Amino acid sequence: MKDVQKKQRETQILQILPKTIRRELEAEAIDFDRLQEIRIRVGQPLLLVFNQEECMIPSSLTDKHMVTKNEVRETLDYISNYSLYAFENEMKQGFITIEGGHRVGLTGKTVIENNKVKNMQFISSINIRIAHEIIGCADGVIPYISANRQICHTLIISPPRCGKTTLLRDLVRQISNGNKFVKGCTVGVVDERSELGGCFMGIAQNHMGIRTDILDCCPKAEGMIMLVRSMSPEVIAVDEIGSPEDVHAIEYVMHCGCKLLASVHGSSMEEIQNQPILNRLIQEKRFERYILLDHSIGIGRIKKIFDERGSLIFQESA
């Protein structure tokens, strides 16, 4: 099973690369399980990132592969299936999600209209971030955020790159499928930036569970209300809340009897309490559990879990 997934990932990545780079990667026998990023910049060497370490190819030669303008163009054609117009909305955000949930970041010259990015042209850099789903990373959290086989309103607090999206994704999967701590229930996911489901053409590329409905590329506040009205979810999950509209939508969702799973950028409970937008929700004890992540103890590791009164119910031992 793992071999099939590995082969699939390899095919998904190789098929979007220009033939010249494809040949070199195949010759190098790259380990796609460890590969995190491929950075393609016009006029610069091709960079591969493995476990936070960069390397250039071909590894045996001193003359490294220099990326040409045509190779960037070819990559763009393959990424978009020769249909750039179909990805204009994604390009506005600076990335395209491809088959397999891998994310392709783009930079170039932005086209501005009414002070907003309308499109991007003359693409000069492409960053392919390979999706690595960590199934089971929420195993240790589920017992603390559930009661009577029901999930509690939960907020995940974490600085960037600590694995909050990965944790949220696995929570969604487990709640949707059900296990001994929670009974399987309908989960609605508002995936504004296609990070949770990694949707490609509307279909989730990550494992999101059997009872999950995803609204892809939809603004969070609007999406939460749409889901309540159309899909009658028992749980709603959203990533990176923060705007006043999000808070209104969260209140609406909670009033409708849905449980809420959300994540927010932050490094401590105090920091979140000091945010004017989220402060009211915390004071009103809207959230029943707070999960705090911290990279000092490792990516994706749970530092602390608090209840609605702010009492510590779990702490990672050093």
> From the list 3, 29, 59, 82, which residue makes contact with other proteins (rule: CB under 8 A)?
82
The answer to the question of residue 24 lying near other proteins (CB under 8 A) is: no
The answer to the question of residue 109 lying near other proteins (CB under 8 A) is: no
Nearest distance from C-beta of residue 168 to other proteins, angstroms = 29
Give the nearer residue to other proteins in terms of CB position, either 96 or 208: 96
The answer to the question of residue 55 lying near other proteins (CB under 8 A) is: no
Nearest distance from C-beta of residue 309 to other proteins, angstroms = 49
Helix axes 244-255, 220-231, angle to 10 degrees: 20
Give the nearer residue to other proteins in terms of CB position, either 200 or 314: 200
Choices 28-36, 79-87, 207-215, 270-278; region in contact with other proteins by CB under 8 A: 79-87
Q: Which of 67, 31, 17 is nearest to 46 (CA)?
A: 67
Give the nearer residue to other proteins in terms of CB position, either 37 or 74: 74
Nearest distance from C-beta of residue 40 to other proteins, angstroms = 15
Nearest distance from C-beta of residue 119 to other proteins, angstroms = 5
The answer to the question of residue 15 lying near other proteins (CB under 8 A) is: yes
Do residues 210 and 178 touch, judged by C-beta distance below 8 A?
no
Nearest distance from C-beta of residue 282 to other proteins, angstroms = 41
Q: Please tell me the distance from the alpha carbon of residue 64 to that of residue 41, in angstroms, as a whole number.
A: 13
Give the nearer residue to other proteins in terms of CB position, either 37 or 77: 77
Do residues 138 and 174 touch, judged by C-beta distance below 8 A?
yes
The answer to the question of residue 232 lying near other proteins (CB under 8 A) is: no
> From the list 9, 13, 16, 108, which residue makes contact with other proteins (rule: CB under 8 A)?
16
Nearest distance from C-beta of residue 38 to other proteins, angstroms = 16
The answer to the question of residue 78 lying near other proteins (CB under 8 A) is: yes
**How is the chain classified by DSSP, letter by letter?**
-HHHHHHHHHHHHHTTS-HHHHHHHHHHT--TTTEEEEEEETTSB-EEEETTEEEES-TT-SSPPBPPHHHHHHHHHHHTTT-GGGGHHHHHHTEEE-TTS-EEEEEEEEEEETTEEEEEEEEEEEEEEPP---TTTTTTTGGGSEETTEEPPEEEEE-TTSSHHHHHHHHHHHHHH--SSS----EEEEETTS-SS--BTTB--S---TTEEEEET--HHHHHHHHHHHH--SEEEESS--SHHHHHHHHHHHHTT-EEEEEEE-SSHHHHHT-HHHHHHHHTT--SEEEEE-GGG-TT-EEEEEETT--EEEE---
Do residues 110 and 149 touch, judged by C-beta distance below 8 A?
no
The answer to the question of residue 119 lying near other proteins (CB under 8 A) is: yes
The answer to the question of residue 84 lying near other proteins (CB under 8 A) is: yes
The answer to the question of residue 50 lying near other proteins (CB under 8 A) is: no
State yes or no: cis peptide before 58, omega within 30 of 0.
yes
Nearest distance from C-beta of residue 18 to other proteins, angstroms = 7
How many chain residues touch other proteins (CB under 8 A)?
20
The answer to the question of residue 83 lying near other proteins (CB under 8 A) is: yes
> From the list 24, 37, 74, 308, which residue makes contact with other proteins (rule: CB under 8 A)?
74
The answer to the question of residue 11 lying near other proteins (CB under 8 A) is: no
The answer to the question of residue 121 lying near other proteins (CB under 8 A) is: yes
Footprint on this chain of other proteins (rule: CB under 8 A): 15-16, 18-19, 70, 74, 77-78, 80-86, 88, 111, 119, 121, 201
